Structure 1
Amino acid sequence: MKGSFVLKIKRVDHLILTVTDIARAIRFYHEVFDMPIINFKDEREPHCVRCGHQLLEFQTVKQPQQPAAANPTVNSAAFCIITGDKLSDVCNHLESYYVPIVAGPLKQIGSEGPMMSIYIHDCDQNLIEISSYQNK
């Protein structure tokens, strides 16, 4: 056993998605999910949205944020977001934006227990699981 130091990881702060068009990605997440657009003072164009207490940041293959993953690739992300709404209401909302549901509702297990999930693709074909915890 090495040393007595124990890391105290608290949460995920941000996730970087590689997309084909940053403005289109921001528009999708802002319009479909009502995620606020974040524009830092030192930037000309926004490149992220707020998702709860986390940020979704966007980059392109040609201009990855540095340091970058070894092979930034469009349409390779899959992640889950939690809603406080009924999934039936979420489905109706997605339908009004012409966003097809690719799977679900399905019973899943998340970090806090049982949940129901539906799955969609964003404008770059990243897989988004939209979930609602049961009994919460």
Structure 2
Amino acid sequence: MLSGLDHLVITVTDISRAVDFYSRVLGLEVRYRDRERVDLMLGDLALRLHWTATDIEPRAATPTPGSLDLCLRSLLPLEEVQRHLEALDVEVELGPVPRQGANGPIESLYLRDPDGNLLEISRAMKPGSE
């Protein structure tokens, strides 16, 4: 019946600050929809930023900044991601650590966006490295 995810809404307190973080730190392409909505492209998936005080309807019953826990797959080895984050003075909260992903073992780094959302950056583990 379903084939995938089209977009995921991230509620933020400051769209400009969130756009800076997701584009500069994570390298996502920015597509402006209007003053209160911005799409951050991740392949064919949009991470859609909504401002907390938006009048857009319908929306989640309690849209709350900092309540998201999102795992993103990395094209780069996590050591390279970690060096990139260090160069930008972005704190890694945990990792790299082994975890279980949707399709098997992964290795993950954890960080937070400016609103406190937990972002897990993961990469599939090589067989035998669990």
Q: State the TM-score, normalizing by the size of structure 2.
A: 0.90
Shift of the 114–64 alpha-carbon distance from structure 1 to 2, 3 Å rule, reads farther
Structure 1 segments of 4+ aligned residues over 4 angstroms from their partners:
none
1:28 to 11, 21, 24: 21
**Which residue matches 1:5?**
none
Aligned partners of 1:46, 1:32: CA distance in 2, in Å? Answer: 20
**Of 28, 32, 36, which residue of structure 2 is paired with 1:39?**
32
Aligned positions of 1:103-114 closer than 5 A: 103-114=94-105
Structure 2 residue 3 is the aligned partner of structure 1 residue 10: yes
Q: Is the Cα contact below 8 Å between 1:39 and 1:45 reproduced in 2?
A: no
In proportion to residue count, which structure has more strand? Answer: 2
**What are structure 2's unaligned runs of at least 5 residues?**
none
The CA RMSD over aligned residues, in Å, is: 1.6
Gap change, CA 1:109 and 1:26, over 3 Å in 2 = same
Whether the aligned pair in 2 keeps the contact of 1:64 and 1:72 (CA below 8 Å) is no
Residue 71 (structure 1) aligned with residue 65 (structure 2): no
Give the structure with higher Rg (CA): 1
3-state SS in 1 of match to 2:126: coil
Structure 1's 65 and 46: CA in aligned 2 closer, same or farther, altered over 3 A?
closer
* C-alpha deviation, 1:27, in angstroms: 1.2
How many correspondences in the alignment?
A: 127
**TM-score by structure 1 length?**
0.87
Q: Output the amino acid matched with 2:12.
A: V
Task: Tell me by how many angstroms 1:24 deviates.
Answer: 1.1
Distance 1:64 1:89 in 2: 40
- CA separation of 1:127/1:44 partners in 2, compared to 1, >3 Å: closer, same or farther? closer
Kindly state the Cα deviation for residue 39 of structure 1 after the two structures are TM-superposed. Answer: 2.7
Q: Deviation per CA, 1:32-74, whole angstroms, max 9, x where unpaired?
A: 111111134xx35761210122101111221153211001111
| 1:86-136, Cα deviation, whole Å (9 max, x unpaired) | 111100000111110001111111111111001000011100000001239
1:18 aligned partner, one-letter code: T
Matched, 1:119 2:110: yes
Identical positions, percent: 35
- The structural deviation recorded for 1:83 is 0.4
